[in-house]
Amino acid sequence: MADATVVASEPGAQVEYELQLYYWMKLIRGFEERVSRLHRQNKILGGVYSGAGQEGLIAGICAPLQQGDVVLPLHRDLGVFLMRGVDPGVLMAQLMGKEGGLSRGKDSFLHGGDLSRGVFGSTSMLGSSLPVAVGAALKFQIKKEKNIAVAFFGEGAASRGDVHEAMNFAGVRKLPVVFVCENNRYAYSTPLEKQMAIDDVADRAAAYGFKGYVCSGNDLLAVLDVAEPVLARTREGGGPALIECKTYRYHGHSEHDPALYRSKEELLKWESRDPIQRFEFYLEKKGQDVKRLREQIDEKVRAILQQAVEFAENSPWPEVNSVLDDLYATPTPGMLNGRRS
C-alpha cells in the first residue's frame, strides 16, 4: 500500500483526515491520467475506462469503510482498489497483463479483484455484481458480523433486471448492503433522459422498502455527509440503502470513444465543478496553504506512480504452463472427502 502520510499544518484528527482524503483524490486522478497515457503507448492490455472526474464519490464512499467490508467496484473505479490498499505497482501490473498483477496476467483490469482486501472483481455485464454483493451481505447477516457490502453501479445498469432483483431481495431481508449509483449521465452514449423517465435513480429505493439518497458526486463533502451516516446505519442493522452520486466522466466511455455525442460546452460546465478543485477551495478556506500542499502531494504521487510503472514493466510475462493455475479453489481435505471443512 502506498504511503499516504501527509504532515498537517495544524493539529487535529479532522485535519489529518481531510488531508488524507485530498491525497487519495490526487493519487486516483494521477493514476488514471498515467494509465491513459500508457494506453496511448500500447502498454495496457484490454480496454481502459477512465474515471477521471469521479474521484470525489470514490473517496467519499470508501473512506468510511472498515476492514472486513466488501466492495464491488465498476470498470471505472481504479480508485477503489487504491483506497482499499492494493499496491499501485500490482494494480499497474494487472493493467499490463503481467505476472505481478492481481490475476497473474490472466485477465484485464476489468475483472481483477483482491479478496484479501474485500475487493470483488467486476464483470463485463455491469450491474451483475449487485447480486454478489447481496450474497456477501446475507453471509454477514447470517453470521452476525458487523460488516457491510458496497456495490457500485451506473445509471445505465439501473435498468437491468439483476439490479432490481438484488435490491428487492436486499429489501425483503433487510441486508447490510449499500448500493451506490455513479450517475454520470451517459450509459456509453445513451443520455439519461433516453433511458429512464425519472430524474433520480434513488427514487426507486422506496419500491424495495429502503431509503434512497441523492448527492453531488463532484463534491466530496456532500458525499461524506451522506455516506458516513448511511454506512454506519447499515452497519448497525438498519438495512440496505441506495446512494446516488450525480457526477460526470471527463473521458468517453473508454479511451477509444471520442464522446462526440456530448457538447464541448457540457464538458466545460462539468469540468468547472471538478471535485479536486472544489476540495482545494474548501481546504484553502480552512487555512491550508493549498499551493504548497498541492506541490507536496503532486511530488509524492509522481514518485509513487513512477515506481508503479517500473514495477509493472519489470514484472515478467506469465509462463505458458501456468495458464491452468488458479482456475479453481484449492481443495481442502473436507472437500475431498465430500464434507465441508
The CA-based angle 249-123-113, given to 5 degrees, is 90
CB-CB contact of 244 with 184 (8 Å): no
What pLDDT shows up at residue 11? Answer: 59
User: What sections of the chain are H helices per DSSP?
Assistant: 13-40, 55-62, 78-83, 88-95, 130-142, 161-173, 220-233, 264-271, 275-285, 290-314, 333-336
CA pair distance 100, 86, nearest whole angstrom = 12
CB-CB contact of 68 with 139 (8 Å): no
Exposure on the CB side of residue 162, measured as CA atoms within 13 A: 15
How many helices and strands, by DSSP H and E, does the chain display? 11, 7
CB-CB contact of 219 with 156 (8 Å): no
CB-CB contact of 322 with 100 (8 Å): no
pLDDT at 209 over 70: yes
Q: How confident is the model at residue 337 (pLDDT cuts 50, 70, 90)?
A: low
What pLDDT shows up at residue 250? Answer: 93
Other CB atoms within a 10 A radius of the CB of residue 111 amount to 16
pLDDT at 272 over 70: yes
Other CB atoms within a 10 A radius of the CB of residue 310 amount to 12
CA pair distance 281, 273, nearest whole angstrom = 11
**Across residues 161-188, what is the average pLDDT?**
96
pLDDT at 69 over 60: yes
Out of 50-54, 234-238, 250-254, give the one with best mean pLDDT: 234-238
pLDDT at 172 over 90: yes
CATH topology for 13-186+195-251+260-313 is Rossmann fold (3.40.50)
Of residues 251 and 340, the one with the higher pLDDT is 251
Exposure on the CB side of residue 107, measured as CA atoms within 13 A: 15
CB-CB contact of 89 with 305 (8 Å): no
**Across residues 222-228, what is the average pLDDT?**
98
pLDDT at 10 over 50: no
pLDDT at 7 over 80: no
What pLDDT shows up at residue 335? Answer: 60
